[in-house]
Structure 1
Amino acid sequence: MTLSSQSKVCKVLMVDDETLFLELMETILADLKLEVVRASNAKEAIELVEAHSPDLIITDTNMPLGSGIDLIRSVRERNNLTPIIIFFDGSHFDPQLKPGDILN
């Protein structure tokens, strides 16, 4: 068995309600040889976290059926320490928001 066949593929959960953005990100991440699991809302993402145990979660903040903040809180309440990258589109960014606010 070679080293490359032993390597674990990194699994990324990409969460956004914009289908075109999800497709673009999936293409980019797949080119980097990452496995991508997609969700269009926080509720679906929470189910996928439990089913797929991603190595990384990338999420939007403003989505139907729960925000990215709701997703982060739910993941952390389950003592899941998966790294999470959260992005804001300009129209929903709160400059007063601090990282600790997300977890509390």
Structure 2
Amino acid sequence: MKILVIDDERPTLAMFRLFLTACGYEVLTAENGEQGMDFFASEGPDIVFTDIRMPGMDGLEVLRQIRESGSSCPVIIITGHGDMEPAMAALDLAASDFINKPVERTALNSALVRAEKQLYQTEPAEFSVTETPGDQCLKLIFSGRLSQAAASKLSAIDLETVPGGKALFLFKDNFSIDRHGVFILLEYLRQTAGSGVRIEMSGLSHNHIRFFEMAGVDKLASLVPSNPGETGL
């Protein structure tokens, strides 16, 4: 599998090359967005990592051009810690995932696993939430892309009479979200906060949990990581 990494910092490129090569990937590196897009056109990588802040063509423009080309190639955005607005903009452009600098092995592994699964998905991207009643709690299974158009599907779920006072939100591998989806989810959680229902979210990638924490979702629901430990690269 071929991976393209775009970053204007050579030490970051060297770190990615070392780790990804050791994991068996073929690695291409580019020091700017323009060079990265040239490699994308000529080499057709399976997965792209791109820094969001670079001189000249930044990571958002790289992502925009990849999407405008018609490619659904997973693009993973590399951001600085706490870069909420750029992360939102990347999700609006259907970024596959994002990781923060300094890059941690857990976050990188999570992004790679998610990207590889997306390459072979045959499920539709349309958002759906499936209600599965149980004796102890209500399970909601989220799949597809949560955006403004999907607001009615989420608001139709009533948590007022949840058995056991607990709701479990399970997010499938093909789940994604944009700026409007984040606001919709936050508003839904705020509206149900007074019901006394405990909400637990599971199945999110390590990196989406980071993003949800930045957005304040963790103040309204428990976020359960798949891999709670972190190891620096």
TM-score range with shorter-chain normalisation?
0.7 to 0.9
Aligned residue for 2:4, secondary structure, equals: strand
Q: Which has the higher contact order (CA 8 A, sep 6+)?
A: 1
Task: Quote the residue 2:76 is aligned against.
Answer: 85
Structure 1 vs Structure 2 CA RMSD: 1.6
Task: Quote the residue 1:94 is aligned against.
Answer: 84
Count the aligned residue pairs. 92
Give the structure with the higher percent strand: 2
Equivalent pairs: percent with the same residue? 26
Task: Quote the residue 2:30 is aligned against.
Answer: 39
Letter matched to residue 74 of structure 2: P
Task: Quote the residue 1:54 is aligned against.
Answer: 45
Partners in 1 of 2:67 and 2:42 — Cα distance? 16
Partners in 2 of 1:95 and 1:39 — Cα distance? 25
Partners in 2 of 1:50 and 1:80 — Cα distance? 11
Partners in 2 of 1:95 and 1:63 — Cα distance? 16
Letter matched to residue 38 of structure 1: T
Partners in 2 of 1:84 and 1:30 — Cα distance? 18
Gaps of 5+ in 2: 95-233
Residue number among 8, 14, 25 corresponding to 1:23 in the alignment: 14
Deviating above 6 A after TM superposition, structure 1's stretches of 4 or more consecutive aligned residues are none
Which of the two has higher C-alpha Rg? Answer: 2
Aligned residue for 1:88, secondary structure, equals: strand
TM-score by length of 2: 0.38
